[in-house]
Amino acid sequence: MASYDVVVIGAGMGGLAAANLLAAQGKSILVVDALPEAGGKMGRAQHEGVYFDTGPSVLTLPEILDDIFKAAGTSVADEIELLKGDHVFEYLFANGTTVPVHFDPNDTLQAVRETLSETAAEDLKRFLDYAKNIWDVAAPHFVYGPAPTIGSAFKLGMVKWRDLRKVDPMRSMKAAIDAQVKSNYIRDILLRYATYNGSDPRSAPATLNCIAWVEMGAGCYGVNGGMHQVAQAMERVAARNGAEFRYDSPVARILTANGRVSGVQIGDEAIACDAVVSNADVAHLVNDLAPQVSSVSAPKEPSMSGWTAVVKAKRTDRPAHQVLFPEHDYLNEFSDIFDHDRPPTSPTVYVCAQEKAHGREGWDEHEPVFIMANAPAEPANGARNADIWGELESKVMTRLRERGLLAADDEIVWRRTPGKLAATFPGSRGSIYGAASNNQFAAFQRAPNAVKDLPGLYIATGSAHPGGGVPLCMLSGRAAVEAMDG
């Protein structure tokens, strides 16, 4: 029987981060994944010989990846090339107003000043300062540290409790935005950052307004060659330090002996190990892989899902990223998804031109353009009727063509519905970011990175601490390793 110090289940961002840190410690590591290659939701596909990304479209907080690489004996600069585009985002409104966002926040403020007004620019500047303050205070306790509990929060002491009030936990994102921003255009742009967590700005705590600072203030990067280069680099570095990888190898269950982890079962093969790091969705872990676990629960409310596609589009001078807002009140989208559990009646559409954003090479006269519309996760008791995704696709494509963002004969060459996402990532129900953060206690409700009632089992995934999104999943992998080290 093959034997390793640690088996990592899943080669997504959390699993790859854990594998890199553990291999750097000299441990024998096996990473297994049901998919054919590394990346998890940071995947790729190809059409007519052209590869394109099918998942995340921006890299934020690259210093987290750099810390992992440095522990593994290398650096971001040695492994991938980060890109700083000038005209990064373009927000398009139904009345023809366009608000550009640049890599440098000072350039963004000047663009808002010229496009909207001095008042709008002042409001955005003040809001970004507020969002940065939230990040500076909250990140050490709720992002970079171990999984918080109500008890650990009370142990911080009165001085730190006074600081934590600055993270604005009792208001909703929307309430905090409404109180500080007069421009409806800027309000909608800021409300959209709830979707980066898959949550509802009407109920998610205002603490999540720090996301605006992370992207607009700290920097929104491209990766030369595509976002999947991050996964390939992480796999390459881990392998360089001795980690082994096996793909097309779904784990059936986690094995135990004497009340602790003893291995994993893959088909007819049992592999022995001292510890397991699960990069699977928490629901898949506790329902299928280790049903004896009772100290960890699956998320009660999944985050948003999304209908996604890649279009073979005629090459134009489009910016790296565009967001096309609906004609009607943007908040209707959140009502549709979270109140009525249905796709948006008038969807907001996100567009990523992968040549501009990441230097992806397209076809002779066409470029790969990724598009996405937010959608609810699949029901707990089964999949929705597939016809509703066809209706959403029709709405998305019609709006893009009417606005001139796509030509009439630009064709979809790859698509994925929430149902397909759910089937690819068991237990996820198609949610992209794990659990929604739609209450003030969300940070305390995420699964911890160490499973108390099954020694040797650790969790590194977007549905565990500290949450979903590329950098947070990497931090989840680091937190799992730190929990293992004790």
Shared-domain flag, residues 353 and 372: yes
Residues 189-248 have pLDDT tens digits of: 999 999 999 999 999 999 999 999 999 999 999 999 999 999 999 999 999 999 999 999
* Residue 135 forms part of a structural domain: yes
Q: In Å, how far from its chain's centre is CA 310?
A: 18
Please report the pLDDT score of residue 441 as a whole number. 80
**Same domain? 232 vs 126:** no
C-alpha–C-alpha distance, residues 5 and 22, integer Å: 9
- Is residue 387, in this structure, part of any structural domain at all? yes
Task: Report if residue 64 sits inside a domain.
Answer: no
Q: Is the same domain home to 264 and 377? A: no
Q: Is residue 77 part of a domain?
A: no
Amino acid at 471: P
Residue 188 has pLDDT above 80, yes or no: yes
- The confidence score (pLDDT) of residue 195 equals 97
Give the residue from 187, 392, 395 showing the smallest Cα distance to 305: 392
166 and 232 housed in the same domain: no
**Domain membership flag for residue 438:** no
Split at pLDDT 50, 70, 90, the class of 160 is low
Per-residue confidence at 145, pLDDT binned at 50, 70, 90?
Answer: confident
Q: How many domains does the chain have?
A: 3
Contacts of 262 (CB under 8 A, 6+ apart): 255, 256, 272, 273, 456
pLDDT in tens, 383-440: 899 899 999 999 999 999 999 999 999 999 999 999 999 999 999 999 999 999 998 8
Find the largest Cα–Cα distance for the chain: 69
For tokens 């409790």, what's the residue? Answer: 161
- Give 99-168 as a DSSP string: EEEESSHHHHHHHHHHHT-HHHHHHHHHHHHHHHHHHHHHIIIIISSSPP-HHHHHTT-HHHHHHHGGG-
Distance in angstroms (rounded) separating the CA atoms of residues 16 and 38: 8
Q: Looking at the structure, tell me whether residues 102 and 206 fall in a common domain.
A: yes
The answer to whether residues 357 and 415 belong to one domain is yes
The answer on 308 and 293 residing in a single domain is no
Paired with 32 in beta bridges are 9, 246
309 and 406 in one domain? yes
Helix (H) or strand (E) holding 31: strand 29-32
Question: What are the backbone dihedrals phi and psi of residue 436, each rounded to the nearest 5 degrees, phi first?
Answer: -70, 150
In Å, how far are 124, 156, 167 from 131, measured between CA atoms? 10, 22, 9
Whether residues 271 and 323 share a domain: the answer is no
Pair (325, 352) in one structural domain = yes
Asked which of 217, 234, 269 is the last residue of a domain, the reply is: 217
Cβ atoms of residues 428 and 284 within 8 Å: yes
Select from 188, 217, 246 the last residue of a domain. 217
What is the enclosing helix (H) or strand (E) of 24? helix 13-24
DSSP letter at 379? P
Q: Which of 168, 191, 217 is the C-terminal boundary of a domain?
A: 217
- Assess if residue 230 is contained within a domain: yes
Q: Write the CA distances from 432 to 199, 207, 435, integer angstroms.
A: 11, 20, 9
- The one-character DSSP state at 196 is G
- Residues 351-357 have a mean pLDDT of 97
CATH number, domain with residue 296:
3.50.50.60
Q: Show the domain range for 103.
A: 85-217
**Same domain for 465 and 377?**
no
In a domain, 139, yes or no: yes
- Alpha-carbon distance of 74 to 7, in angstroms, equals 23
* Surface-to-core class of residue 51, CB atoms within 10 Å of its CB (0-12 exposed, 13-18 middle, 19+ buried): middle
- Residue 68 counted as domain residue: no
Are residue 172 and residue 232 in the same domain, yes or no? Answer: no
